[in-house]
Amino acid sequence: MTLSPPEQRTTGDDTSYSGPVMSFVLWTNEEICKSQGTYNSTMSCCSNKCVDVAYDNDNCGACKNKCTFTQTCCRGECVYLAYDKRHCGECNHSCLVDEFCVYGLCNYA
Tell me, yes or no, whether 34 and 60 share the same domain.
no
Domain coverage including residue 33: 1-39
Structural domain includes residue 47: no
Query: What's phi and psi for 17, nearest 5 deg?
Result: -115, 150
Q: Is residue 85 part of a domain?
A: yes
d(CA 28, CA 36): 13
The pLDDT, as a whole number, for residue 37 is: 60
- Give the pLDDT of residue 44: 85
Give dist(CA 82, CA 97) in Å, integer: 17
Q: In this predicted model, which residue has the larger pLDDT, 79 or 25? A: 79
Q: Which pTM value belongs to this model?
A: 0.64
Of residues 17 and 64, the one with the higher pLDDT is: 64
Which of the two residues, 12 and 23, has the higher pLDDT score?
12
How many percent of the chain have pLDDT more than 70?
Answer: 62
On whether residue 63 sits in a domain, the answer given is yes
